[in-house]
Amino acid sequence: MAATDNSLSNTASRLPFQIPEKLIHSLRQAQKITALTGAGISAESGIPTFREAQSGLWARYNPEDLATPQAFERDPDLVWRWYDWRRKLIASTRPNPGHLALAALEQKVAQFALITQNVDGLHAAAGSQSIIELHGNIFRFYCNRCRRPAPASAAQAQSPPQCAYCRGMIRPDVVWFGEQLDASRLDAAVKAAKSCDFFLLIGTSGFVQPAASFPYLASKAGATLIEINPAASAVSTIVEHVLRGPAGEVLPGLVQTVWPA
Ligand code: OAD
């Protein structure tokens, strides 16, 4: 049974902000919604974002100095240990209400695409289906030389295992700075950005290309942009609607308000 307006406004009023009625109704009419997520959506699961200082042993390292092919060539064990630390941190977390709300939203619209810059696998764990892991996945591995996939058991190793085929070094299946993205994933993401009614920008600072260009592609193709982030991002200026708050609160509130159960 559709919630009546006053229950809608009650739900809406519980949010840290008001969602304009016009936006609520046009979201309901949406046939295709594309979401782009960044590290911010996993922040409430306890995973530090990129631009937050790293904690503990890794505090003195800058991700940009570890997540590169050069760093892996120079000191494979160091890079491997850093990813092992991140894998263990991520394995101790679970999807937060923001991830879960996106998985619920996917069931509310005819077509939905989720482009994520995150490599933590939390969207899949939350039940999202149509995920484009633009920057890969920290729990997958491949050979740095012949690029053949390597078994997930590589995660148990303390240093880069050797490839069973060519004896090259096994590495995490994540995009390093300066590396090309997987062409099929990039194509799918561009298509999803260019063919949606609404483009949701969630928990990303909007600095890193090519993901940072997707909101522009979506806007040029006629989509309405909604940003969900407690702070401004590099693309806030082109966004029509800004929902200033943490994804773990805003997304559940948005889904409950627009598509009441
Ligand atoms: P950043 O660390 O650059 O930005 C995180 C964003 O999340 C910021 O805009 C924060 O304001 C926002 N944020 C923080 N807490 C939030 C919350 N609870 N809810 C919603 N938003 C929140 O991370 P990304 O934009 O994801 O690339 O960085 C993009 C890429 O830069 C990463 O994928 C990585 C890095 O280089 C590669 O690894 C190739």
Question: Residue 107: is its pLDDT beyond 70?
Answer: yes
Query: For residues 37 and 250, is the Cβ–Cβ distance under 8 A?
Result: no
Of ligand 1's atoms, which has the minimum distance to the CA of residue 228?
20
Q: Whose CA is nearest to atom 2 of ligand 1?
A: 50
pLDDT at position 261 is: 80
181 CB under 6 A from ligand 1?
Answer: no
> Is 25 noted as a catalytic residue in this protein?
no
pLDDT at position 49 is: 85
Taking every pair of C-alpha atoms in the chain, what is the biggest distance, in angstroms?
Answer: 65
Q: How far does the centroid of ligand 1 lie from the alpha carbon of residue 123, in Å? A: 15
pLDDT at position 5 is: 39
Cα–Cα distances in angstroms (integers) from residue 89 to residues 121, 137, 260, in the given order: 12, 14, 34
Average pLDDT of the chain is: 91
pLDDT at position 19 is: 87
Q: How much is the average pLDDT of 97-115?
A: 98
Q: How far does the centroid of ligand 1 lie from the alpha carbon of residue 239, in Å? A: 17
Question: Residue 65: is its pLDDT beyond 90?
Answer: no
Q: Whose CA is nearest to atom 17 of ligand 1?
A: 246
Q: How far does the centroid of ligand 1 lie from the alpha carbon of residue 149, in Å? A: 27
Q: How far does the centroid of ligand 1 lie from the alpha carbon of residue 146, in Å? A: 31
Question: Residue 99: is its pLDDT beyond 70?
Answer: yes
Query: pLDDT digit string (tens) for 213-234?
Result: 999 999 999 999 999 999 999 9
Catalytic residue among 25, 123, 135, 241: 135
236 CB under 6 A from ligand 1?
Answer: no
Question: Residue 51: is its pLDDT beyond 80?
Answer: no
pLDDT at position 104 is: 98
203 CB under 6 A from ligand 1?
Answer: yes
**% of the chain beyond a pLDDT of 90:** 85
Of ligand 1's atoms, which has the minimum distance to the CA of residue 39?
26
175 CB under 6 A from ligand 1?
Answer: yes
pLDDT at position 84 is: 96
pTM for the structure as a whole: 0.92
44 CB under 6 A from ligand 1?
Answer: yes
Tokens 């298509």 map to which residue? 191
Provide CB contacts within 8 A for 87, sequence distance 6+: 138, 139, 155
At 88, the amino acid letter reads K
| Rounded Cα distance, 71 and 224, in Å | 40
Angle between helices 5-14 and 247-258 (to 10 degrees): 180
229 CB under 6 A from ligand 1?
Answer: yes
Q: How much is the average pLDDT of 138-167?
A: 97
Which has the higher per-residue pLDDT, 62 or 228? Answer: 228
249 CB under 6 A from ligand 1?
Answer: no
